[in-house]
Structure 1
């Protein structure tokens, strides 16, 4: 019996090592060619954790196998350095008092949970708490995804005005969706708000089914122009078919076998959409006349093909200054970092952190400080 368990353990170790190697190829697999590309990207952090467990156990059980697993770990170095930040001693600066640094906040605000009714406008609302958190971080530029604001209505809070009163007078909307509401209108999409004046603006369609756009603004930071991009890539939408079924939140993620096939289909479809979007975004960044900062809800992890293409030669702010997986999506897995801030190498990342504000949006904000490299 003992021999059987030893054999089974070794078999599991080999399965984990083989699975890790396959998952490590995810960022090089075009979704239009390899339908499982997005699934591999999501699986890589889990495979990394399992491989690490294999290494630790075999240090005491089978050192040759531990050495082999360690070699395999570094064979996947590309995905490893994209997905896990190694700066445990980096100091997080939550307050913003350094005038030599430009602070940028990117956040999928999830429509502020649609808490826009004036008659329900109390201090403990998630929307109010989100605004106060932003006020505390005091960014110079805000990049919001799934932003919702109402204008010219007597019943709803106007978020554009709220942020203008906080000093974000310069605002550029992606113009994704606009609806008539009670003689006024609502805006839904990506929004860039800034305390610094805009020199120029840019809006490009991403050609997905949600008619989302890539938008950019040029701002003068210490008398030098910086181009800040913001967007929201196509959503995976794994659970949109259960939103109105009456299922409780406690079982919304329990998938039946028949729904697993739907999930795989959505992974493939979204991956192909991301491939198209990444080509448009990468071209826009590479042709930018000014150093670029790219902020987005990627709806894909850092091991995905789209992330590698978009990042190109840029720095990932969290990888430069963070520690760990840097979870930004408040569901499913603590390894999901799908919100990013990518920074041109002509700028130095001096600070970056994910603020885990549970119960507000389904995403966490990512706050990044950058400065010109010659301003040390």
Structure 2
């Protein structure tokens, strides 16, 4: 019989065992990521485990984000899995047993109940994959909100991968190489800070959220270097940009990337992506995840990421409101809007 309960610190090894084996799990399902969110962003977590005969066979990471700027909802939360501000993947996942559907279903049901007790008025889930989970969520009246991603199949040969890349992008890769751009791994906090500043400069230009540097310091210290991949784009012995990627099971996920504005003309972005794809393939990974993209095909990010030959897939948000009366009162207070 499956038993679902809240996770405790002693569950770390069992939790990570599921995260390392489940095909639906990503780096954002690891215990270390949970700790980075808790410490680096001071977000309250609600994480569940499913046990079968005392063994952890399923996990469900959740993050309770306070609802801001709405006095009527003071003390209320949205349960995110993953946290929206870090743009990862979440949802429940299970290891291969004879009861995978039951495990996932029980985790979904218990999360709705416990999150509601903890003050959540809505749940928002974005899983990486898993048709079983998506079916369960739709049957439980979750609605979807579009989210896209592009996955490059690294099982293709290097020649096939290159042929799939947009011609102009291949030219920009060669231009960056000709310009003398080099991509180097980052192994110390001094260079991590420079990479962060480059990434921050892009987010400031785009008026987009980026976690504080302290978050990345904690990440750098908490994650095994075989799982966290930080690189710098170097020009004339100076760091002009960089990126932060994650390695988990058979996939590499790019999450943050940036270049100082003065060096954009050297095309370092293109070399960073292509070199990451090539190195991921040579290291034996099977998929390269371009880290999410908007659904608007006219958007610049969509255009950039769609040019690398990946398969564009849906990784939608699944949304369910669990405290209807609270939401109804809020809607009424806003004039029915």
TM-score, normalised on structure 2?
A: 0.25
Structure exhibiting the larger radius of gyration computed from Cα positions: 1
Bigger helix fraction: 2
